[in-house]
Structure 1
Amino acid sequence: MEELEKYTEEEEELSEFEPNLDQKPKLFIEKEYRPKKNGKNDKEVIFWKDTFAHCTHPTKEDRISSWPEKPKKYREVIGKYSEGVRKTRLKVLELMCEGLGLQKDHFAYELSQIKYLLINLYPKCPDPTVTAGAVEHTDGGFINMLLQELGELHVRRQKNGQWFAVEPIPSALVCINGMLLKVRI
């Protein structure tokens, strides 16, 4: 926690993740009460999540030097991991292009190259009956790759609006289409 405090800004309001290419690593803390989205339920939900985020591509030396120094090998491990995820992501985009009958490099432009690392922590909440780690949302970007450890991810099918649980597969990445991909197609 002491190390994470270096990446928290003193703010009057709780912060929400807002991607910014030049953004230095930051801890976004979302612990607040808000009414449910549909407004029909008089109960409030607590969004109880900490997100540590930073840009990992395009890689620049000054960006890497802003990454945490602790744990000792963070920069080395995250650098290698991020590059592997980037290569996988680009390959998935190529395969999607092939499946859609597009040229292999259809998505190979600047916006498809930007990549962030987000690490979510869902700390214990004093009242878990009204806790939501994340609410219904649409992910930005082209493709979001999620390393899922717990079975709490739910995705809604676009065709029929039905929600289904995504069961985690150890060491597998879940690929989720982002809004930029939907807009671009």
Structure 2
Amino acid sequence: MKEDGVLGWGKSLPVPSVQEIVRNDPKFVPERYIQDHKNRPVLDSTTFGSDSSDIPVIDFSLLISGDEDELNKLDFACKEWGFFQIINHGVAVMVLSKMKAAVAAFFDLPLEEKKKYSMAENDLQGYGQAYVVSEQQKLDWGDLFFLITCPLEDRNMKYLPTTLPGFREAVEEYSRELQRVNEEIMAKLSLLMGMEEDGLKKLHVVMKQSMRMNYYPPCSKPDLVLGVSPHSDGGSLTILLQADEITGLQIKYKEGWLPVKPIPNALVVNVGDVIEAWSNGMYKSIEHRAITNASNARMSIATFVIPDVGIEIGPVESMMQDRSRRYKDIKYLDYIKHVLDRKMDGKAHTSFLKLEGEP
């Protein structure tokens, strides 16, 4: 991996594998995973103020063909929700299935085998847990495997399992397909932001891509734990494959938590902090989290798009014509280090992007 790779200074303290905790005693929930009362999930669906079906669903094939209604839907989704699902995205079902199978096969490995790919002391690539910065903080009920996938020179091949036939090929094929999907979405967002189609691509300088594979074991007390704590994403765009037909993802909406029910073979897309800054707050990154359940394990694969670490992020000119500047110009390297040095805490870290006095 290059010395200046963005995730090279990410640091997370080693913690036990949740998968192994459950294997050893399915009923045991260590104190460190039990969330404070205010953070515990409410699992009664009647308490949700909206329905999952309200979250915009965009027909990707219509969007890239220039359909005006679908473009307006994308604009609305990014302004009002920060999240949307895409269907007819052109990623073959076989490619999705192979990726899901690859992730399942990795987490099925014996612990000692998975440990061969453990995160190094100063790297977030590999097997382990992220955003663990103190011995006192509450832990998430899940394990992860994190890889940098693009560009090729940023990959660290030692993290690619050699004992899993087809794993590398599945990751590479899925990664290529998501690059295409991402570039098409970025092109349409560029137009909505008053730029040429390649505007956001140029702002990135290099569109880097990384992949977080999540495994959430069942929990005997799902109302006390979180699979992933509330956070927004520090990149520009995230594309999520919900690998199981189990609802676990929730987004913050009107002060409540709204479940994102999986649509078979759809992809979930959300705006990251970088797009929020570039759009001067017109498109906002949204808090989201994952919950668990008592009976089934759940997997998901989040693919993050981030810009080159050397660039500055801040509002583009076209986003300041009708509104005053709300965000600073800041080097992305400084921002992502700020994000990675902290535990997940909603959108608290985005204050680092904003001008003084901006909410």
Q: Distance in 2 between matches of 1:54 and 1:147?
A: 15
Matched, 1:83 2:183: no
Which residue of structure 2 lines up, in the alignment, with residue 163 of structure 1?
Answer: 257
Matched, 1:114 2:208: yes
Matched, 1:154 2:247: no
Distance of aligned partners of 1:124 and 1:172 in 2 relative to their CA distance in 1, 3 Å threshold: same
Q: Distance in 2 between matches of 1:33 and 1:154?
A: 27
Which residue of structure 2 lines up, in the alignment, with residue 101 of structure 1?
Answer: 194
> How many residue pairs get matched?
164
Distance of aligned partners of 1:57 and 1:183 in 2 relative to their CA distance in 1, 3 Å threshold: same
Distance of aligned partners of 1:128 and 1:176 in 2 relative to their CA distance in 1, 3 Å threshold: same
TM-score, scaled to structure 1: 0.75
Residue type of the alignment partner of 1:156: K
Identity score, percent: 24
Q: Is the 8 A contact 1:50 1:121 kept in 2?
A: yes
How far apart are residue 66 of structure 1 and its match?
A: 4.2
Q: Which runs of 5+ in 1 are unaligned?
A: 12-17, 36-44
Q: Is the 8 A contact 2:148 2:155 kept in 1?
A: no
Matched, 1:6 2:116: yes
How far apart are residue 5 of structure 1 and its match?
A: 1.1
128, 144, 147: which one aligns with 1:28 = 128
Q: Distance in 1 between matches of 2:184 and 2:251?
A: 23
CA displacement, residues 117-163 of structure 1 (integer Å, 9 cap, x when unaligned): 11001123464342110111011111100001321211123xx4443
TM-score, scaled to structure 2: 0.41
Distance of aligned partners of 1:4 and 1:26 in 2 relative to their CA distance in 1, 3 Å threshold: same
Runs of 4+ in structure 1 over 4 Å off: 30-35
How far apart are residue 8 of structure 1 and its match?
A: 1.7
Greater strand share, structure number: 1
Which residue of structure 1 lines up, in the alignment, with residue 322 of structure 2?
Answer: none
Which residue of structure 2 lines up, in the alignment, with residue 173 of structure 1?
Answer: 267
- More RCO (CA 8 Å, sep 6+): 2
Residue type of the alignment partner of 1:3: E
Distance of aligned partners of 1:29 and 1:124 in 2 relative to their CA distance in 1, 3 Å threshold: farther
Greater helix share, structure number: 2
